[in-house]
Structure 1
Amino acid sequence: MKTSVFSPTVIRELTDKTYDRRKVAALEVESLVKQNKESREQVIDIIQELVNDFVYSDSPHAQCGGLISLAATAIALGASVAEYLDIVVPPILLCLDRRGRLADDKEQSVRNGREILDRIIKDIVYELAATYVSPYHHHDVEENRQQEQEEKKAFSLSKFIPILRRHVYTSNPFERIYVMSWISLLDSVPGLDLVWYLPDFLDGIIRYLTDTRHHIRANARLLLAQFFQEIQFISRQNEDEGVAMLQKQRTNNNNKDVFNNETTLVSSTQDDQQNKKARTTGTPVKQLQYDRIVDILIQHISSTKEEIQRTALQWMIEFIAAAKPVVIQFTPRIVHAVLPLLEHSVPTISSFAMEINRHLQKLVLNYSSTTQTIVNPVPSLSDPSTTTTLSPEKGITKKVSSEKPTITMTTKTTGGPILLRRAYRSDIGHNIMRPKNGELFDYSLTVTNLKLQFLNEHEQTRLASLEWLLLLHKKAPNKVLASMDSILSDLLKTLSDPSEEVVYRDLELLAQIANDSDDDGFYIFVKKLLLLFEKDKRLLESRGSLIIRQLCIHLDVEKMYFTMATILLQKDQDTRFASMMVQNLNIIMITSSEMNCLRKQLRSLDTKHGQQLFLTLFQSWSHNAIAAFSLSLIAQAYELASNMLQVFAELDITVNMLIQLDQLVQLLESPAFTYLRLQLLEPDRYPYLFKCLYGIFMLLPQSSAFSTLRSRLNSASSLGFLHVMPKRTN
């Protein structure tokens, strides 16, 4: 049995439950190390016994004794401790899993021991982590020399991050402060480039913003602000380099296509080349795991906590500028998360949401699938599912500072039970969008997510979704119309939206879709519109005129009316709806200035085109007697109209017909029938016109319309039109 390097007294006191006795024993260990400092074998024996017999012990008192003794050993060795880090660091890393739980241990001695060791380890990491190369670290001879240099570093982030990532989801306030203090320390080490591993703990730190304790929230804000500044620095540096590269390419070859002057990410081939250059020249590679960070931010944009939302939105604004090819992949999800916030009750949140929406629309508008930059995101080195061998130390040039981390530790204890630690969130940052068919932007998924916003309670959200669809359709109509049936149904339902502004924008999009459709697509659109009116007659009564007039502003009026008339001819089973629809179309045609061209075309009965148009409309307008009569007046087919009066005599004159006749008399005084009133001055040329008007006059009951028409006819009778009335021949 191997003899212990420690005396029985030291062994007994190192396992004592009293902190003071363990501290005295640790001082004895420090003296022993100093005495044997020149003997490497003796120091190794001391460290190994501390680790095996105390740190790895099941006794918590022995563990504390071992930890405080390792701290004393490090003090005794001073700078020489670097030679022994390969045997000191592993047990320390293991203790990191437990040390956070010691932060609020009931015994002050335990907490003191943890703080001493923690402070010493932090000092060692800060001074040596990114620079020292141990000559005692062994490698296989076939390994690359550059890899050897990287793997010999005194502190390995790739081994530390998984432990940190597990602890970041703790609910223990002391452990949260402890985690943030380590993150702040590692971020302050020049050349360590913790920002590369930001996705591994960003989600947890953002969640700290809702902690009930003010000092934890304040520390989390400060830590996030530090990383946000680093990201901004990276963004500006990449932008400057992108502009310089663009200028160089233009100088070398003015005939070649170049990337636009905004920030772009390098392809995977360029990544490999830059990584190789970084390993051989020491030049850091300015790279972030943009995709994982953006994925985390999207999840927090949908948070119910205002501060988390505000922070995620602010970060997203920066990433839209810094990582365009990555953000373009996440556009469907960003749109789905951001649009509901456009009308948020908190002005800052709504302002950030509007800015993101504006920048994202600009990004998509400028996106071209033919000149896209393909991004191959690099997996996290701390992800156990990956076998990548990339260096964890690659990243940006860090600011060199001699200052210690600004986030402070606290030893204040609080009562109450310790909450169960949250499970390790391995899913965060790994739900990454990938390009489909070589394209970064997914039109189909974006359209699907935009349609979901039609049901949002906020008007601005619904408007923004329609503006997005207008933009996408103008940019790539074929891709938006790939699912035309579905999108048409949703857009037509939106015509019942309580907001008129939403309806106007919806009609603009519907007209745009109909315009870009072929004849079959246009026919389907009109048929669906009429079907909507048939099912929702309240919509027809309240907004039918508005909808048709707005569509006719954007579409070919003649084509629109011709198509509707053709479809209404098939409405034999529901003649009531057909009559109602024709009545509405007829009034719109008479009263709307947008219909001037249609009315002129109908008066061209001397042309084949005019005849065909009138015949199609007349057949459909026959669903409503008064509408067909009005159409004949518009087309100046007065003889046909006068003949129709004979048919009216055989019909049961209903109240609805009398109301329509009353409306027609009022319309005769409108600008649309100016030509008709002037034709009353030429009774010899238009004798059937007088017969038509007198026929209406005879059908009307004595009302305001009756008086109006009588006044008009009396004015014309002074011309002696009776003398030129055509005589009936036998």
Structure 2
Amino acid sequence: MGDALLVIPPAVLRNLSDKLYEKRKNAALEVEGIVKQLTSAGDHGKIKAVINLLVKEFAMSPQVNYRKGGLIGLAAATVGLTSDASQHLEQIVPPVLGSFTDQDTRVRYYACEALYNIAKVVRGDFIVFFNKIFDALCKLSADSDANVQSAAHLLDRLIKDIVTETDEFSIEEFIPLLRERMNVLNPYVRQFLVGWITVLDSVPDIDMLGFLPDFLDGLFNMLSDSSHEIRQQADSALSEFLQEIKNSPSVDYGRMAEILVQRAASGDEFTRLTAITWINEFVKLGGDQLLPYYADILGAILPCISDKEEKIRVVARETNEELQATKTDPAEGFDVGAILSVARSQLANKWEDTRIEALQWILTLLKRHRAEVLTFLSDIFEALLKKLSDPSDEVVLLVLDVHACIAQDAPYFRQLLVFLIHNFRMDNSLLEKRGALIIRRLCLLLDAEKVFRELSKILEGQADLDFASVMVQALNLILFTSTELSEMRNLLKQSLVTSTGSDLFLSLYASWCHSPMAIISLCLLVQAYQHASSVILSLVEEDMNIKFLVQLDKLVHLLETPVFAYLRLQLLESSRYTWLLKVLYGLLMLLPQQSQAFKILRTRLKTIPSSYSFNDDQFKWLSRMNSYSQYHDASQVFEEADMDEDSQRRINYTAMLQQFQQMQLQHRIFSKSKKQSSCCPTSSKKNFQRAEEERLSISTSEASRPSSRSSYRGQI
């Protein structure tokens, strides 16, 4: 300190702290001259003393004017040092940087000016302080004073020039600071940061692309800034980086993919579009690097398929197609379970298009990696079943495609139909709104005969008899009205002629017993008219309630459909089909005269030519013929000489009628117990138990006879 006072005149020191800028400036010029002389003399000891004096007595003084003088003095000393300045930067730069946070705006301004002059002198030697200078400039870029901001901008441009021309800059040391600052929300700071990223990326020797994952999220964050200029700058920087990625042989796709996945769910439309665009390019370029991230990428893509912005939807669909087209193998790291988990979660998405694509993924995985998918079946099966109630028909059809693909294996086939029946029982609206669609689709995909046989087997032992009746009625209507089941109907029409037809008839009969109208219509289809007549006559004990009459009404209308055209034509030969006439008249007798169905059926019967009327003697003769044949109208026996003889003994109608009557008795007991339960809540449990015991005793006694299906076969 003493050496400095000997070197610098007191008048210069006084002027250096003067409130007038001109005096401080002149004093600084004196200091510059003095330092030049000391530099020429090589007296670095006194130079250090001068700098120490300027720092402690001026730059760090509590007096504002002293601090101003100290800053201009340090800059002047650096200019005086010229090429030797680098030896004293450790003394000069820190106090100047410290002044950047001074409370006085003019001090901060002079700090910028001083550092600018220092940087001009030392150039590349300045880089050792880069991180500290960058941090200081980052803060000054958002300074409250416009003049300070302006001075900081001038200094910033100079520092950028120095960095681009030197090979001493360390990107590795700078990136942690940049990553930390990227989370700042101030618009001025953001502009400052994007500016530096762009400049550094333009330097050939600086590998900014290699460190892109460290600040990529920050750039994406700027895309939603309220300032159009900042959004534009960030987008420009990202576009440049994406182009570099396309031209680069090796990039860390994985780390960036994690960032892009998060940004694809941004609430900002422009951010989502940019993220999806990047993901699209990554899927095309990333190859095996992206395999571990496929599930995350798919989780980002699927919601965007239903985005409100068309551009996003287009890119998302293209990306999804790219992903599906990629040939992958679990052995190479493709995680089937993770992909399935994502697809399952998106089944709950509120948008139809996303749910559809999620199902397409499950279907694709089933076709490509069936064994692996089936190991995760328990994780997705319930979610798939729930989607059968989806409001979209297209979704439901795709769900059925998936189920059908799973059900190619026998255990899963039965499991599917058991779950389906359970869902129909638990959700009546599903059966009403989607029952026909679901059953028809499954019949198309899995073989109608196989589906109906299994459903019949399940319903045969259904404990909820009311539901069983409703379900059978639904299946019966589907059987008679669906084009997908035309071959099955044709096979049933051969029930009295071929063993395959009769076997199908018998497989349906036991469950069809849950509904009288279903049984009658089935018998009419297979042309077992005498048995249909017996069933009708056995209905005398039935409660002719509204449900019964509604089903009867439906049956009459069904008889007028094209499916029963052959039956209506048979009425032209009433002498051959007298049991058919008796069936139709039996139905007519059950209908109320005021009903529309009564009028329809009566009108149909009136169209039969009067010459084809029949009498009781004919029925007596037909009854006698019953000892010869139980499988067909007796009048047809003599014209079917080539009929398989085994088919004449195949169907035991007596046992079948007993089965039907037993089932209807169980239904009456079941209905009675339900009525008692609703009328007498306190004793409902006991009533229900007694009814169940009675119903079970009937089932047990029935079981003591030969099994239901075998009892239909053999001699009468």
2:237 pairs with 1:347? no
2:359 to 443, 466, 474: 466
Decide whether the 8 Å contact of 2:200 with 2:208 is kept in 1. yes
Partner of 2:136: 98
> Equivalent residue for 2:710?
none
Q: How does 1:203-222 map to 2 (within 5 A)?
A: 203-222=217-236
**Does residue 531 of structure 1 match 2:422?**
yes
Question: Would the aligned equivalents of 2:436 and 2:478 in 1 still touch at CA under 8 Å?
Answer: yes
Partner of residue 263, structure 2: 300
Listed as ranges, the matches of 1:614-693 within 5 Å are 614-683=505-574, 685-693=576-584
Post-superposition offset of 1:297: 0.9
Distance in structure 1 (CA, Å) of the matches to 2:500 and 2:229: 81
Q: How far apart, CA to CA, are the structure 1 residues paired with 2:505 and 2:397?
A: 30
CA distance in 2, matches of 1:59, 1:331: 48
Residue correspondence of structure 1 range 231-380 to structure 2 within 5 A = 231-234=245-248, 286-363=249-326, 367-369=327-329
Alignment match, 1:708: 600
Q: Aligned equivalents of 1:486 and 1:107: distance in 2?
A: 61
Higher deviation after alignment, 173-182 or 478-487: 478-487
Q: Please tell me the residue identity of whatever aligns with 2:475.
A: L
Measure the CA separation in 2 of the matches of 1:108 and 1:491: 63
Q: Which amino acid letter does the alignment assign opposite residue 355 of structure 1? A: E
Residue 304 of structure 1 deviates from its aligned partner by: 0.8
Contact 2:588–2:598, Cα closer than 8 Å, also in 1: yes
Q: Is the 8 A contact 1:443 1:480 kept in 2?
A: yes
Secondary structure at 2:223 match in 1: helix
Pick from 474, 478, 481 the counterpart of residue 371 of structure 2.
478
Q: Which residue identity lines up with residue 633 of structure 1 in the other structure?
A: L
In the aligned structure 2, how far is the partner of 1:368 from the partner of 1:356? Answer: 16
1:189 matched to 2:203: yes
Decide whether the 8 Å contact of 1:20 with 1:109 is kept in 2: no
Residues 231 and 338 of structure 1: CA distance in aligned 2, closer, same or farther (over 3 Å): same
Task: Tell me the TM-score normalized by structure 2.
Answer: 0.73
Question: Within 2, Cα distance between the matches of 1:3 and 1:559?
Answer: 105
Q: CA 1:110 to 1:13, structure 2 compared with 1: closer, same or farther past 3 Å?
A: farther
SS at match of 2:219: helix
Q: Which moved more, 1:469-478 or 1:558-567?
A: 469-478
Alignment partner, residue 48 of structure 2: 5
Match of 2:157 in 1: 119
Cα displacement (A) at 1:358? 2.9
The answer to whether the 8 Å contact 2:292/2:335 transfers is: yes
Aligned counterpart for 1:552 among listed residues 443, 457, 464: 443
Which secondary structure state, in structure 1, belongs to the residue aligned with residue 218 of structure 2?
Answer: helix
| 8 Å contact kept, 2:74–2:92 | no
Residues 92 and 22 of structure 1: CA distance in aligned 2, closer, same or farther (over 3 Å): farther
1:490 paired with 2:383, answer yes
Aligned to 1:592: 482
State the SS of the aligned residue for 1:455: coil
Alpha-carbon distance, 1:96 to partner: 2.7
Amino acid at match of 1:586: N
Deviation at 1:199, TM superposition (A): 1.0
Residues 1:712 and 1:639: Cα distance change in structure 2 (over 3 Å): same
Structure-1 separation of matches of 2:522 and 2:150: 97
- 1:111 deviation in Å? 4.9
Q: Tell me which moved more, 713-722 or 608-617.
A: 713-722
Relative contact order, CA 8 A, sep 6+: which one is greater?
Answer: 1
Would the aligned equivalents of 1:683 and 1:724 in 2 still touch at CA under 8 Å? no
Distance in 2 (CA, whole Å) between partners of 1:598 and 1:100 is: 79
Q: For 2:527 and 2:481, how far apart are their aligned partners in 1? A: 17
Partners of 1:107 and 1:713 in 2: CA distance: 103
2:89 aligns to what? 47
How many correspondences in the alignment?
Answer: 569
1:627 Cα deviation from its structure 2 partner:
1.0
Q: Are the aligned partners of 2:592 and 2:598 in contact in 1 as well (CA < 8 Å)? A: yes
- AA aligned to 1:589 is L
2:328·2:334 contact (CA, 8 Å) conserved in 1? no
Query: How many Å apart are 1:586 and its aligned residue?
Result: 0.9
Cα separation, 2, equivalents of 1:718 and 1:708: 22
Residues 109-140 of structure 1 show CA distances to partners (whole Å, capped at 9, x for unaligned) of: 765664454333322221123xxxxxxxxxxx
CA pair 326-647 structure 1, distance change in 2 beyond 3 A? same
Shift of 1:647: 1.0
* Matched position secondary structure for 1:335: helix
Aligned residues: percent identity?
A: 36
Partners of 1:628 and 1:226 in 2: CA distance: 74
Give the Cα–Cα distance (whole angstroms) in 2 for the partners of residues 450 and 666 of structure 1.
Answer: 45
Q: Quick check: 1:71–1:117 contact (8 Å CA) kept in 2?
A: yes
Which residue in the other structure is 1:227 paired with? 241
AA aligned to 1:102 is L
State the alpha-carbon separation in 2 of the partners of residues 317 and 605 from structure 1. Answer: 63
Note the alpha carbon deviations across 1:590-647, whole angstroms, 9 max, x for none.
Answer: 1222112212222334444333322221111111112112111212222322222231
- Relative to structure 1, the CA distance from residue 24 to residue 712 in structure 2 (aligned partners, 3 Å threshold; closer, same or farther) is closer
Over the aligned positions, Cα root-mean-square deviation in angstroms equals 3.0
Counterparts of 2:413 and 2:478, CA distance in 1? 21
1:445 pairs with 319, 324, 338, which one? 338
Who is 1:601 aligned against? 491
Residue 76 of structure 1 corresponds to: 121
Asked if 1 retains the 8 angstrom alpha-carbon contact of 2:279 and 2:297, the reply is no
* Cα distance in 1, alignment partners of residues 571 and 620 from structure 2: 15
Deviates more, 1:14-23 or 1:45-54: 14-23
Shift, 1:699, TM fit: 2.1
Return the letter of the residue paired with 1:5.
K
1:160 matched to 2:120: no
How far apart are residue 563 of structure 1 and its match?
0.4
Structure index of larger Rg? 2
C-alpha deviation, 1:678, in angstroms: 3.2
Deviation at 1:361, TM superposition (A): 2.6
TM-score (norm 1): 0.71
State the SS of the aligned residue for 1:718. helix
2:254·2:289 contact (CA, 8 Å) conserved in 1?
yes
Q: Residues of 1 paired with 2:498 and 2:79: CA distance?
A: 116
Rate the CA distance shift 1:31–1:619 in 2: closer, same or farther, 3 A: closer
Distance 2:322 2:509 in 1: 51
Q: How far, CA to CA, are the matches of 2:404 and 2:485 in structure 1?
A: 16
Amino acid aligned to 2:440: R
Change (3 A) 1:67 1:707: closer
SS of structure 2 residue aligned to 1:104: coil
Q: Is the 8 A contact 1:507 1:550 kept in 2?
A: yes
Contact 1:495 1:506 in 2 (8 A): yes
- Higher helix proportion (structure 1 or 2): 2
